[in-house]
Structure 1
Amino acid sequence: MKTVLTIAGSDSSGGAGIQADLKTMTELGTFGMSAITAITAQNTCGVNAVLALPCDMISAQIDAVCDDIFPDAVKIGMLANSQIVECVAASIKKNAMKNIVLDPVMVSTSGHRLLDDDASDALINVLMPLADIITPNIPEAECLAGMKIASKADMIKAAGIIAGSFDGAVLIKGGHLANTGANCIEDSTNVAADLLYHGGQTQWFEAEFVDNPNTHGTGCTLSSAIASELAKGADMPEAVRKAKAYLTGAIKAGLNLGKGRGPLNHAWQNTISDC
């Protein structure tokens, strides 16, 4: 069995963070392991409290995993501050880890910045160069590229700018623009179009836009799915294709839990419906 390590924050409601990562890894046939960077008190309505773990504890978790069950791939999510970003980067280099999938958790769904300037700089300059692929959403890609994104052409331009700062692939998730109204991508209404920029080439991955407000943890789920597929030996485009198909199914399953933006059904492939 192939193994995947998630380095991310804990979501007490189970919809995002390491909980979503481990569910995804299990559903895709890999053995998931975790190094927790922060503990959050949250639910479908929002985040009530965050406690970042000490860097030495984070490093110790990563070293313990690598010393015993070396991961075939790594997913990195919430890192909270610049000190954690730097200690995670140091651990990756120390352990010569491979197949690094970085989900740059910089901006919340509501548009609020989740990393201060120091942490963002460390993410871009220290950690991003170690990644094999980064998976920003539109607001995060805007931060990384320093430009507004309102079209497919903008996504391609932004991906090229971001890719110019490191050697890995860039997957810009177009879900924020795949909707009707002022922010829709031209000629892509009702289509969720993600752009993979890899080796100087662009490739679009399109799927039906699912009108489901319960999308808590989509970014965590997609990045963990990509890491799982890379661990199993898929090349980058195939890993992205399979991961996007899994995510789309988890959204379409229509799970409805909680009073706010609910979680996905990570077990949708194994759920038996009532006859």
Structure 2
Amino acid sequence: MKEVACSLTIAGTDPTGGAGIQADLKTFQELQSYGMSIITSVVAQNTTGVQRIHHIPLEMIEEQLDSVFSDMPVHAFKTGMIANIDMMDIIKSKIADKNIPFVIDPVMVATSGDALISEDARDYLRDHLLPLCKVITPNLPEAEFLTGDTIDTVDKMEAAAKKIVHEYGAEAALVKGGHLVGDAIDYLYDGKNMYTFKAKRINTKNTHGTGCTYSAAITAYLSHGLPLVEAVEKSKHFVTEAIKHSFELGKGNGPTNHFAVRKDCSN
């Protein structure tokens, strides 16, 4: 029997299923990677916003991590919402010696523009987790919060990706251009080459969970052993189709469609 590809997500929840742990697990399943999860925060949220957040006790986060890594194979993993330095420190201690592709979805800035983590937590992530990751996937507000620079052109997107790699130590950075006007263009820099991934902008408000879905797809493809550039290319297609066929659910920004692409992940 062929070895089963396994992906792990370390993040917060979304009870409506559009984002967070739930979106990650749906994406892993669609891309034929066995999904596992470590819950950092239980979040009361829906398509209109976040109503309340309850952080899981630190010792429980640590025990969840120990449970998975002591028993299950992990071929790639990602982080999403990590609320504070104490959580990040525990995660770092458990993954620092793991030679496994690590995808960071830096959940730092809300759709409203409000920061979701403190500056000291941002600095800890930048200084201690970025050097461990295979790729980080910030949107423009997150890239601005991370770098301290205004990013409003494609040239500045490329500069931000290079800064994240050369100054902060990430192996690669995927800066996503969904907040700019025009086509949705993302720039991936791997320390040597800059790659461009382009899709026509889709006229919809139903984009809840796109960042989670995109980064989860990259994680799933990496768990299958795909090279990073190919993993990002396939994930760009996956999330574009998920947005194109998104659902009119809820009173706010509806969720993407995680089963918009139903085909073998090797195609």
Output the TM-score relative to the length of structure 1.
0.92
Determine the structure 1 residue equivalent to 2:128: 126
Contact 1:24 1:221 in 2 (8 A): yes
- State the aligned residue count: 259
Determine the structure 1 residue equivalent to 2:87: 84
Unaligned segments of structure 2, at least 5 residues:
none
Q: What is the alpha-carbon distance in structure 1 between the residues aligned to residue 255 and residue 215 of structure 2?
A: 16
Contact 1:4 1:33 in 2 (8 A): yes
2:214 equivalent among 219, 222, 225: 222
Which residue type is aligned with residue 192 of structure 2?
G
Contact 2:162 2:191 in 1 (8 A): no
- Structure 1 residue 117 corresponds to structure 2 residue 119: yes
Determine the structure 2 residue equivalent to 1:3: 6
Deviation (angstroms), 1:167? 4.0
Determine the structure 2 residue equivalent to 1:48: 51
Contact 1:171 1:196 in 2 (8 A): yes
Q: What is the alpha-carbon distance in structure 1 between the residues aligned to residue 99 and residue 201 of structure 2?
A: 35
Q: What is the alpha-carbon distance in structure 2 between the residues aligned to residue 262 and residue 2 of structure 1?
A: 30
Determine the structure 1 residue equivalent to 2:31: 28
Contact 2:101 2:133 in 1 (8 A): yes
Which residue type is aligned with residue 249 of structure 1?
E
Q: What is the alpha-carbon distance in structure 2 between the residues aligned to residue 247 and residue 214 of structure 1?
A: 12
- Structure 1 residue 166 corresponds to structure 2 residue 153: no
Determine the structure 1 residue equivalent to 2:15: 12
Q: What is the alpha-carbon distance in structure 2 between the residues aligned to residue 267 and residue 97 of structure 1?
A: 30
Deviation (angstroms), 1:110? 1.5
Deviation (angstroms), 1:97? 4.8
Unaligned segments of structure 1, at least 5 residues:
180-188
Determine the structure 2 residue equivalent to 1:71: 74
Q: What is the alpha-carbon distance in structure 2 between the residues aligned to residue 134 and residue 90 of structure 1?
A: 19
1:174-231 per-residue CA deviation (whole Å, 9 max, x = no partner) reads 0011x2xxxxxxxxx2x11000001321110001111110101000000000000011
Identity of aligned residues (%): 46
Contact 1:71 1:97 in 2 (8 A): no
1:88-128 per-residue CA deviation (whole Å, 9 max, x = no partner) reads 1111125x151000011111111110001121111111111
Determine the structure 1 residue equivalent to 2:150: 148
Contact 2:33 2:220 in 1 (8 A): yes
Which residue type is aligned with residue 248 of structure 2?
N
